[in-house]
A and B are shown apart, each in its own frame.
Chain A
Amino acid sequence: MAITEVDEKSIHIIKGCFDEDRRAQKDLYTIYYAMSLGICLRYANNREDALSILNEGFFKVFKNIGKYDFQKPFSIWIKKIMTNTAIDFYRAKIKQGFLLDVSLYEHAIVEDDSITQKLNYEDLLAMVQQLPPAYRTVFNLYAIDGYGHEEISGMLGIAIGTSKSNLHKARGRLVQIMEVQGVKFGKTQEKA
């Protein structure tokens, strides 16, 4: 259960973190553990990387807690730190991009059929983690975390066009991965 608004208890915990009170830090960690690990897993190549990002992200949270603005939701602040930490973790690879045989993954869904097979969390996570960091990061930021291309461009230091392109490629590759795994997701058509 995450703190959704800055109530009295939250303020008490956060203030304890100001004073580097280990108990308060553990309380904060426990409350935001699941949410943060979820974010880190989405942005990471694997669980090991995700745990490293989680560790680094919480370290930043505790070291920069003095910068937190009590007027804003704490969950948004911590989410942003985790996202930025994940971006930093793969920054070199994100900027470098990833050389792929584009034609192989340039798919577009042409029919609006519904999924015939329900996908669980592990399946979806595994698919996202198979994406190259450059595609995965843009996909996460745009499709799941709700950022626009302009914001993504600023966050990652890439062109808006690159952001759009990477999103497109990420989607195409996800469809392709689903197909490989035998997940029926309507009909796809390879782009000429």
Chain B
Amino acid sequence: MMEKDKNKIDEIFKDGLSDVYFEFDESHWQNIESRLNQSNRLKKRKIVLLITLATTVAAVLIAFFIWNDQLFKSNDVLNEINEANILSEKEGLENGTIHRQENLRHEPEQDLGRVAFQPHTGMNSGLAVPSENRILQDILLMQVADINLTRIQDGKQETTFTIPRIEYSHRRLPSFNLKEEPIEGIGERLAAVYQPKETIGAMRKEEERSVVSFLVGPDLTSVRGAGKSSLSENVGLAYSYPLAKGFHVSVGATYAKKNYKSAYKFYTPSNPPEMAQLPSNVSAVCDVLDVPLTASYTVLKSKNVKFNVSAGLSSYFMLKEKYTFDYEGGGSYSGSQNSAVYEVNGENQHIFGVADFSVSIEKKINDKINIGVKPFVKMPLTGIGYGNVDLESKGVAFTLGMSL
């Protein structure tokens, strides 16, 4: 009996609530449609972010390998000098002034890099003097090994001399007739002849130097899809560090005053205020600290002009956001006025939330100073600011760089 009664209630509600018809409401579809659009944008942003990250990683890896390769080559500088127009052993042997010991040829290469002179203890009774090439080679090796004292044993007679640290900027070395000249003091004489003008390190430094740049310029800021762009200003500093020939990483800080206008439908605030009526348009003025981290590659380079391409990620720190909501036909969430102002201070940060692409042309004024022009595009990877809008910027920056 009791069970039957219970079923009766169930039946009443099942019959009454099951078959029901509602008129389709377009506004409900619009809600889900905007959510689907936002989800698609998020998906695209993720793809752009992944591509940007992959590009940056690839650029850094390429730079690393090129740099490593250069380091490897610099260790092989000895071979380069040997391949230069130094008098050949053959030539030395032909003029009959030097008698070279056969066993010198078989010394392992890695030992050459660490030991300046191998003391010769041969059994020949004649004057055994290392070949000229051998001497020059060893003098250079001393620089690598940073050893300043060398001792030569010459049969019964022991000759000791010191060769000062020598660095060469010349590839062609003159010949010496060791037979006619005394071996003592040869180091000092060589040092006097080959006074270095610049060290190898200094030469490299000149090629790839850190640069601090001051930049200033306008951009056109807009909410993607809104079709309205407003002029904004940027001013900032950037520091560029060379990773390898042509490759730089840069970090900077740019203060930007971003102005943008759009319809309210582009706004999807996380915590929307209670509104009796939705605004029609929004005007925004935002103070933004833009911190970019980019990788650059010098595509073209002449004596005074460089052409670079850059890609990276920017972080936006929203210092101050001021939104003016405009209402059609009056009325707002706070009263009956036609517009309402909403301010947010320091609440929104978007770490690596913007993809940053640019090209730049730099002209060298002198050894230290260069000027440049840098068109750039900043694409959002996440919603920016209180309204979570897709904020894009396209502009140009004028740069003044100083090499360190």
Contact = CB atoms under 8 A, between A and B. Distances in A.
A33 B6 CA distance: 31
B29 interface: yes
B29 A29 contact: yes
Contacts of B10: 142-144, 171
A130 B327 CA distance: 37
Contact of B24 (A33, A55, A139): A33
Given A109-B5, A128-B13, A144-B14, A38 B20 contact: yes
Contact of A59 (B1, B9, B32): B32
Contact of B12 (A30, A111, A124, A142): A124
A34 B33 contact: no
Contacts of B17: 38, 42, 121, 124-125, 128, 144
Contacts of B6: 108-109, 168, 171
Contact of B9 (A20, A55, A120, A174): A174
User: Chain B, interface size: which category?
Assistant: 20 to 34
A168 to B, nearest CB: 8
Interface in B1-50: 1-2, 4-6, 8-10, 12-14, 16-18, 20-22, 24-25, 28-29, 31-33, 35-36, 39-40
Interface in A112-141: 112, 115, 119-121, 124-125, 127-128, 139
User: Chain A, interface size: which category?
Assistant: 35 or more
B16 A120 contact: yes
Contacts of A144: 10, 13-14, 17-18
A38 B13 contact: no
A115 B2 CA distance: 16
Contacts of B28: 33, 51, 54-55
A168 B2 CA distance: 11
A33 B2 contact: no
B36 A25 contact: yes
Contacts of A142: 10
Nearest to B5: A109
B16 A121 contact: yes
A33 B22 contact: yes
Contacts of A38: 17-18, 20, 22
A20 to B, nearest CB: 7
Given A34-B20, A38-B22, A124 B4 contact: no
17 contacts: A29-B29, A30-B29, A33-B25, A38-B17, A54-B28, A109-B2, A110-B2, A111-B5, A112-B1, A112-B4, A115-B12, A121-B20, A124-B13, A124-B16, A174-B9, A174-B13, A175-B9
Given A55-B31, A109-B9, A144-B17, 16 more contacts: A20-B40, A33-B28, A34-B20, A58-B32, A59-B39, A62-B32, A63-B39, A108-B5, A109-B8, A110-B1, A112-B8, A124-B16, A127-B13, A142-B10, A174-B9, A175-B9
Interface of A: 20, 22, 25-26, 29-30, 33-34, 37-38, 42, 51, 54-55, 58-59, 62-63, 108-112, 115, 119-121, 124-125, 127-128, 139, 142-144, 168, 171, 174-175, 186
